[in-house]
Amino acid sequence: MKIAFVIRLFNPEIGGVEGVARSLASGLAAKGHDVHVFTSERAECGIDGVTIHRVNGWQFSSIAKTLSFPYFAKKAIRQQGGFDIVHAFSRMAGADIYRLADPPQAAHLNRNYQGFKRVFTKLSLRNRTILGLERKTYQNYQTTLVTNSYRTRRDLERFCAVEGSRVSVIRNGVNTERFHPGLREIHRAPILNELGIPKDARVLLFMGNDFRRKGLAQTVQVLDTLQKQAIGEQALHLIVVGLERSPQFRKDVKDRGLKPIVHFMGRCKNSERFYGAADVFILPTREDPFANTILESLACGVPVITTRTNGAGEILESKLEGTVVASADDCDAMATAALDLFNTPDVVKVRDACRNRATQYSWDQAVAHYEALYTEHLQQPTVKPPTNLKDIHYLDPAIHSAFNKSESVFSAIMDLSGDSKRSIDRRETLRLEIDGQAYFLKKHRGVGWNEIIKNLGSLKRPIVSARTEWVGIQQLEALGISTLSPVGFGERGCNPAEIHSFLMTRELEGMVKLSVIHEQIDQLPATQTTLIRRSLIIAVAKLAKRFHEAGCAHSDFYLCHFMVQDRDWSLFQEGDTLDLHLIDLHRMHRYRSLPLSKQVKEIGALFFSATHLQLTKAEQDLFIQNYENSATNPQLWKQVWKRITHLVASKKRLLKKRPA
């Protein structure tokens, strides 16, 4: 096949998608394909069978580069002619294959910005340009989309209204000849000697160029936690490899007194030698489609610690290979995982497991997957996009199939009826069943200008759409906090007073609200009741801690919005998992840092909703201990108790006014 690659930069030293494109081009050329690369890069290719075509775009601004490169690349491809497949790695509408290098821009903006800030950010010229390019690409049903993780495919489904059947997941490959366990014998002793690290030290490795997103601050926190714990007589050191853009991280290391055991190496070409020096690789990234460093580390026989927001974590199947923690902010969990890996009794077994996992993702296998995809694409018939999905932002295939004969799926869902659970003004919550599965449907039919003005007048953020809860669900998932599972979201209109929208979620089956769980556990023996209460308090405190540290405010932070899987509580034992779900996020808001006043309101509301449980002083202290996990903040808790007293007094006044 004659294949055209379109990628703005084709420099293997950059890493990421550039390295992927280069390895794929080399593999395809080795199998006899005629590969042409259209790029703005001036560097020589150096790969037999690969031809470089330099595309001259506009360079005077980032927007000009974003717009001009695909335009001139398509022009150059037409002039060259005769290509069987046009495979784009940079944003370009009209390609046969588009392999996403980053999460969709819509997912990034919705996950990291909220409220007016998200609106204004989306309105920036750069973001409007990128969103427009992506929209054109995704709406072209003749383009096959490729991601390297199921996480990114889910982002396309939820934020870009792309059907999952249109997306192929092909993992990145790894050069198993360059990255191998033998590097330990070659490089460990020289590197440790160069850095002044004891031979028997335990070595953590962090590698990445974007320190903030990749989680260096959290890595330093993990190191600090490990230093304060008893980890044996062996020394502990951290090696940091990557481009350093801010002195803040060195300052943090110095302030914590960790400077002697943290080694900043900068960007290095021969990164594989550092895997040879490491015992554990750590990457608590906040957002990564698929970090190649995970595969490289495994190929070298080094176990990994990463986050659920890293698509590469999906390939881990055994604790011998490493640990995937729920959130980049869960430093305690990462410290525990690191200790477990350091103290593993069978190091050889761990290294073999890591190596075996990596060999399942060689570049030969990746090239074979792409060859099969090219052949399938050339044979597929012309596909017409559905015409009934206007105003639908996300729809689970099971729901779509139930309404595929409707002229407008949005209208059909908004017209659904069911068991009404709540109805306030123009908002309604229904419970209904579709094909035997229970769902909850929240419908918003425009709040009206009076409601918006009333909210703004009282300095409250008006809730004009189901989008607030939709975005909240995505943000909680990114934080590793369990919540509702959405199956559909739609929004129609731009007038904030008249926006119609819906959010449909699966019913949480077999779960019970924490506000009523006492009715079950109070019937048990006193020792069992105490154990369950303490375990639930710790779980709630840790969830609240993670939620608030991320800058999130629920605004209705009551026990009735916490749910846990029901069970035979008489069999509950200390250490059993309690996976709490936080629901009803329609008023959730995320700040850069949660203001103290909001934190007081949140915790005050939580304690107020638990007054009927009559928490003991010891139980209150247990919550505080697990919520703060450090020195108690007297100012915070003084205001919290004052807030609770105010809420209790208000409730008593309301009860007195209520007619008999």
Annotated active-site positions, please? 556
For 419-546, list the strands marked E by DSSP: 419-424, 427-434, 437-445, 486-492, 500-506, 511-513
Residue 189's SS3 state is helix
Question: Could you tell me which residues are beta bridge partners of residue 323?
Answer: 305
How far is it, in rounded angstroms, from Cα 288 to Cα 296? 15
Query: How many angstroms separate the CA atoms of 502 and 103, rounded?
Result: 25
Beta bridge partners of 565: 511
Residue for token pair 């200790």: 339
Q: What's the token pair of residue 3?
A: 């294949």
Q: Which of 30, 10, 8 is nearest to 20 (CA)?
A: 10
Beta strands in 158-270, from DSSP E residues, in sequence order:
167-169, 202-207, 236-241, 262-266
Structure token pair of residue 68: 């001009």
Q: Are strands 392-395 and 304-307 parallel, antiparallel or unpaired?
A: unpaired
Query: Can you read off the two tokens belonging to residue 412?
Result: 């059909």
Tracing tokens 């970090």 back to the chain, one arrives at 291
DSSP calls for 330-353:
-HHHHHHHHHHHHT-S-HHHHHHH
Q: What are the helix and strand counts (H, E) for the chain?
A: 24, 24
Amino acid at 57: G
Q: Are 23 and 363 in contact (CB under 8 A)?
A: yes
First to last CA, the chain: 83
Q: Which two tokens stand for residue 426?
A: 């123009």
CA 69 to chain CA mean position, Å? 29
Residue with structure tokens 């490493």?
A: 322
Residue with the two structure tokens 């914590």: 256
Phi, psi of 179 (to 5 degrees): -110, 110
Q: Does an H or E element contain 217, and which?
A: helix 216-228
Half-sphere exposure (Cβ direction) of 133: Cα atoms closer than 13 Å: 23
Cβ atoms of residues 506 and 437 within 8 Å: yes
CA pair distance 364, 612, nearest whole angstrom: 63
What six digits make up the tokens of 228?
């304060």
In a 13 Å sphere around the CA of 497, the CA atoms on its Cβ side amount to 9
Residues 6+ apart with CB under 8 A from 459: none
Local structure of residue 387 (DSSP, 8 states)? S
Q: Encoding tokens for residue 147? A: 């991601």
Instruction: Determine the distance from the C-alpha atom of residue 599 to the mean position of all C-alpha atoms in its chain, rounded to a whole number.
Output: 24
Give the three-state DSSP class for 383. Answer: coil
